[in-house]
Amino acid sequence: MTEKRKTVFFDRVQAVTEAFLTYRKRRNRLKKEKRAKKSQVRDWIDAFIWAACMVLLANQYLVQAYRIPSGSMIDTLNIGDHVFVNKLVYGPELLPGVLKLPSPVKPERNEIIIFENPTYISKGPVFDIAQRVIYMLTLSLIDIDRDEAGNQRVHFLIKRAAASAGDHIVMDKGNMKIKFSGEDRWVTENEYNAQRNWNHNIIREVSPSDYSVIEAVGYAMAWNMDFRMPVPQKILEETNKAANMHSFDYLAREEARLEMLRMLAPQDGRYKAEFSKIKLGRYIPEGRVLPLGDNRDNSRDGREFGPVKTSKVLGKGMIVYWPITKIRGMK
């Protein structure tokens, strides 16, 4: 092999070697960059999972965010307010909807409490847990629990603990009277609250003059719906005024309906018994609390479904944190 050919040969070997080393170096660099990119994505995923777990733990055992869906607590809480609820005070649940831990602290009169809606129909434990996890992770912004029309199904209610165990309460044209355990005197709710400087407003949208119309509607229901008889003209004329009413006292209407049924069928003891239950009032048994909305004529509450078990009370209202211009404590 001549000297020239040797030079060409070695130049080619050197070029191939350099190309191979360059390729290998480039390949190793790309692998490192790919691993670094994967590591960064993994770090972000790990950080998100860790943050999500912290949010879930805090919401489940300490403080949870809720959004106010209705006007039942106006003007203490308004529609769309976002609130934080103390989940620890009454004993947290081990898992969403599963086994509530005991607590020496029980809901007290006048506290704002959150509890499971007694009229809520569950879609199953898997859906309930998924709904509550998503609701907690999004700080109450996303609620997947909707009905066929797309409206939010109310799983939890926020009301005021208006009466406690041992109380005997009666509703008189929408106003609550209380007789405490061991006492023989009735006191109005407003009078009792004023004595303790509880200055939250109890909103009444139904005026005293509306009750003649409400009673007429109850009487008409007894004649027409229960007995299938023509409604007397005088009662019918009064019911026409109901079209102009924006709010209604359904308990007073039911009392009037039962009163008329009792007169139309005095031999039927069922109507007398049901009428007496409303007229004589309700006793709050041990281990229960009666929740009522501050906006009394626009609230589905304990007047409909009765006192709730304290074991179903999930937390105590703390603060309104949104809108930010109206941050305030709940009392």
Tell me: the pLDDT tens digits for 176-187?
Answer: 999 998 888 999
User: Sorting pLDDT into bands at 50, 70 and 90, what band is 27?
Assistant: confident
Mean pLDDT of the chain: 86
141 and 104 in a common domain: yes
Structure-block tokens of residue 78 = 């308004």
pTM: 0.78
What pLDDT score was predicted for residue 50? Answer: 79
What pLDDT score was predicted for residue 45? Answer: 78
147 and 77 in a common domain: yes
What type of residue sits at position 156? F
Of the candidates 187, 208, 183, 205, the one whose C-alpha atom is nearest the C-alpha of residue 196 is 187
144 and 213 in a common domain: no
| Sign of the alpha-carbon dihedral angle for 251, 279, 190, 213 | positive
Structure-block tokens of residue 331 = 């009392």
Domain boundary among 248, 272, 296: 272
152 and 68 in a common domain: yes
303 and 161 in a common domain: yes
What pLDDT score was predicted for residue 316? Answer: 96
Q: What distance in Å separates the CA atoms of residue 63 and residue 83, rounded to the nearest whole number?
A: 10
Within-domain flag for 299:
yes
Strand order in the sheet with 168-172: 187-188, 175-179, 168-172, 282-283
| H/E segment holding residue 40 | helix 3-61
Within-domain flag for 279:
no
162 and 104 in a common domain: yes
Helix axes 125-137, 3-61, angle to 10 degrees: 110
148 and 66 in a common domain: yes
Within-domain flag for 281:
no
What pLDDT score was predicted for residue 14? Answer: 62
User: Sorting pLDDT into bands at 50, 70 and 90, what band is 203?
Assistant: very high
Reported as a single tens digit per residue, the pLDDT across 250-292 is 999 999 999 999 999 999 999 999 999 888 889 999 999 999 9
95 and 41 in a common domain: no
- How much is the average pLDDT of 238-252? 90
- What is the domain range of residue 238? 209-272
124 and 75 in a common domain: yes
- How much is the average pLDDT of 139-160? 84
Q: What distance in Å separates the CA atoms of residue 256 and residue 249, rounded to the nearest whole number?
A: 11
Q: How many domains does the chain have?
A: 3
Domain boundary among 243, 272, 301: 272
Strand partners, 112: 160
Q: What distance in Å separates the CA atoms of residue 8 and residue 24, rounded to the nearest whole number?
A: 24
Residue 81 contacts residue 322 (beta carbons within 8 Å): yes
Phi-psi region of 47 (alpha: psi -120 to 50; beta: other; left: phi over 0): alpha
> Averaging pLDDT over each range in 3-7, 16-20, 95-99, 145-149, which range is the top one?
145-149
Within-domain flag for 109:
yes
9 and 26 in a common domain: yes
Within-domain flag for 42:
yes
Minimum mean pLDDT range among 23-27, 36-40, 217-221: 36-40
Within-domain flag for 100:
yes
Q: What distance in Å separates the CA atoms of residue 327 and residue 218, rounded to the nearest whole number?
A: 43
Structure-block tokens of residue 17 = 């070697």
User: Sorting pLDDT into bands at 50, 70 and 90, what band is 214?
Assistant: very high
Structure-block tokens of residue 301 = 């509450």
Minimum mean pLDDT range among 32-36, 105-109, 186-190, 197-201: 32-36
77 and 134 in a common domain: yes
What pLDDT score was predicted for residue 125? Answer: 77
Reported as a single tens digit per residue, the pLDDT across 303-331 is 989 999 998 999 999 999 999 998 999 88
- How much is the average pLDDT of 49-70? 82
128 and 96 in a common domain: yes
Within-domain flag for 187:
no
CA distances for 236 relative to 135, 240, 245, angstroms: 48, 7, 16
Domain boundary among 60, 79, 97: 60
Within-domain flag for 280:
no
